[in-house]
Amino acid sequence: MLRIRYLNEVHLGGAMVALVSLSVLAERSVRAEDVATVVRHDADGVRVIERTGPARPRSADPRSAIPAWTGPRDGEILWHNYLEEAIYTTAGISIPQSSLITGTWLNPPMEAQLIALEGDGTPTWTMPGTQFEVAASRDADVFAAIDYDDLNVTVYKWHAASGTPDWSYVIGHSAPASHRAVAVSADGTIIAVLVTAEDGRGLGRLYYFGPDSSTPLGIIDAGPGTFGRNLSITPDGRYVAFIAGLEISIVDCDAGTLRYRFDSDASSDPITISGDGQYLAYGWLKLYVRQWDGSAYSPLFARTVPGYYLRQCTISADAGTLVSAWYISGFRQNRVELHELPSSQPLWTYDYVYGAGDYQDIVYDMALTADGGYVAAASLGDQVNTNPEVHVFEHDGPTPVFTLDTPGSMFDVDIAEAPDGTVYLSACGKTVHANEQGRGGDIYSILLVSGCPADVNADSVVDIDDLFQVLGMWGPCEDCPEDINNDGVVDIDDIFAVLADWGPCP
């Protein structure tokens, strides 16, 4: 079987527009497949291409490089799942359900999986399919996915208690948007799906649903000859912004109308809308930021980083923080910048170490906590493993507080903060580098910050009961909550930690 799937294309204004997804199927086979993901960059723009072919024997165990994490912020890999044949595509965290949903493709098991954030990584439930991309409501019990079978896109919605979908909806003769095709608002009120409808010349088409019905609340078409690329949704589900071809559209889901539409100077992946719908950011040659003035999204500022191109951007739910990721044309160095809106000057800039080898490094995904307190970036990594594939930053400074070095490439990252201050991180992707023809997938669930580690009995207050519990576990103690500083032994340092945090948890 030979399949070439053109995932992303950037076209400057006036250049010819191509359909976002093209699959050439010579024959179907049950044999395992390998895939290589390559980024192409030229004067007209950038595109991401996936090439699949028959699986080849592995020369070595792809997990021979042991994942490692570093940084001043306490971090713990709660669990790590490895699939020998399939690749993880995306993942999304739900804090109230203490779970994440993830999707796989390429080889069995091709399925959606719901997994508890803490535990041993065993799925709570699974559902088989072909090529899943998933999303979760950060603050509610709503999980969604699209499954693509080379002809149709099927939308699914679940709640955590059951792997049987609450409903499904088939979008015929369509392909998913090239970068992100499904999003769920943080409050779970809106599920948005972006596709390229392959009728006539093709066009980008947005569907949006409520959580309780498979009947779309609305369908918004982009212009003819466009193709879906990426979408962004506000936490309350009121606004969805999406890119199709050169067109950028903002939809008011409450009113069921198109709020605003305009043409950008390039068709590219980056698009983000602030939680209140006031700010919009996008771009490729530049980072463009616009602000709603009551009737239009008017230009606020445009930022150029000499020698760099914009790859990702996202705005926090509270509309205060904008982060962006940039790359150089040779794919040897990435840059992350953080702005406090509406300022056009970054608060800080972080440059990755310049890479080496033939493989391409690019920031593939970014995520922010709701208040912009933490920034997570997932990248492909280079051939000689110069930089970790996952970086986490705090809002106030450019030094990574946590990094994760994985054997391959990370395609997706999510980060969410619980009410008690606990921060969870998920990252998933391919076990070998994206550019390498291969297979296998990894997903990580990470506890980045415990909101109240001295509350060892989890009753939301640090008091005499916690002190007695620590004393009761005195001595060597591996992976136990009484070992508050995680040094493998319960001793006087843990007593001091209890005394330092005495009182109600924040």
Binned at pLDDT 50, 70 and 90, residue 69 comes out as low
3-state secondary structure of 469: helix
Find out whether 253 and 244 touch, Cβ atoms under 8 Å: no
What is the distance in angstroms between the CA of the first residue and the CA of the last residue of the chain?
Answer: 56
* CATH fold match for the domains 75-449 and 461-504: no
Rounded to an integer, the average pLDDT of 278-283 is 97
Binned at pLDDT 50, 70 and 90, residue 37 comes out as confident
Binned at pLDDT 50, 70 and 90, residue 504 comes out as confident
Q: What are the residue boundaries of the structural domains of the chain, listed by start?
A: 3-54, 75-449, 461-504
Question: Between residues 15 and 49, which one has the greater pLDDT?
Answer: 49
398-427 burial string, b = 16+ CB within 10 Å, else e?
eebbbbbbbbbbbbbbbbbbbeeebbbbbb
Find out whether 421 and 464 touch, Cβ atoms under 8 Å: no
Q: Please state, rounded to an integer, the average pLDDT across all residues of the chain.
A: 88
pTM, entire model: 0.84
pLDDT of amino acid 190? 98
Residue 59 scores a pLDDT above 70 = no
Q: What is the CATH number of domain 75-449?
A: 2.130.10.10
Rounded to an integer, the average pLDDT of 141-153 is 96
For 373-397, write each residue's pLDDT tens digit.
Answer: 999 999 999 998 899 999 999 999 8
Burial (CB count <10 Å: 0-12, 13-18, 19+), residue 130: middle
User: DSSP letters along 399-448, please?
Assistant: S-SEEEE-SSEEEEEEEEE-TTS-EEEEEEEESS-TTSSB--EEEEEEEE
Percent of all residues in the chain with a pLDDT value above 90, rounded to a whole number = 72
Tell me how far apart the alpha carbons of residues 363 and 259 are, in angstroms, rounded to a whole number.
Answer: 30
Percent of all residues in the chain with a pLDDT value above 70, rounded to a whole number = 87
Question: Which residues touch 295 (CB under 8 Å, ≥6 apart)?
Answer: none
Closest CA to 287 of 307, 270, 274: 270
Binned at pLDDT 50, 70 and 90, residue 75 comes out as confident
Angle at 131 between CA 128 and CA 136, to 5 degrees: 80
Q: Kindly give the interhelix angle for 464-472 and 492-500, rounded to the nearest 10 degrees.
A: 170
Tell me how far apart the alpha carbons of residues 158 and 161 are, in angstroms, rounded to a whole number.
Answer: 8
Residue 321 scores a pLDDT above 70 = yes
pLDDT of amino acid 18? 36
Residue 457 scores a pLDDT above 60 = yes
Main-chain dihedrals φ then ψ at residue 469, nearest 5 degrees: -65, -40
Rounded to an integer, the average pLDDT of 31-41 is 74
pLDDT of amino acid 19? 33
Rounded to an integer, the average pLDDT of 266-279 is 93
Query: Under CATH, what is the fold of the domain 461-504?
Result: Type 1 dockerin domain (1.10.1330)
Residue 154 scores a pLDDT above 60 = yes
Residue 60 scores a pLDDT above 90 = no
Residue 182 scores a pLDDT above 80 = yes
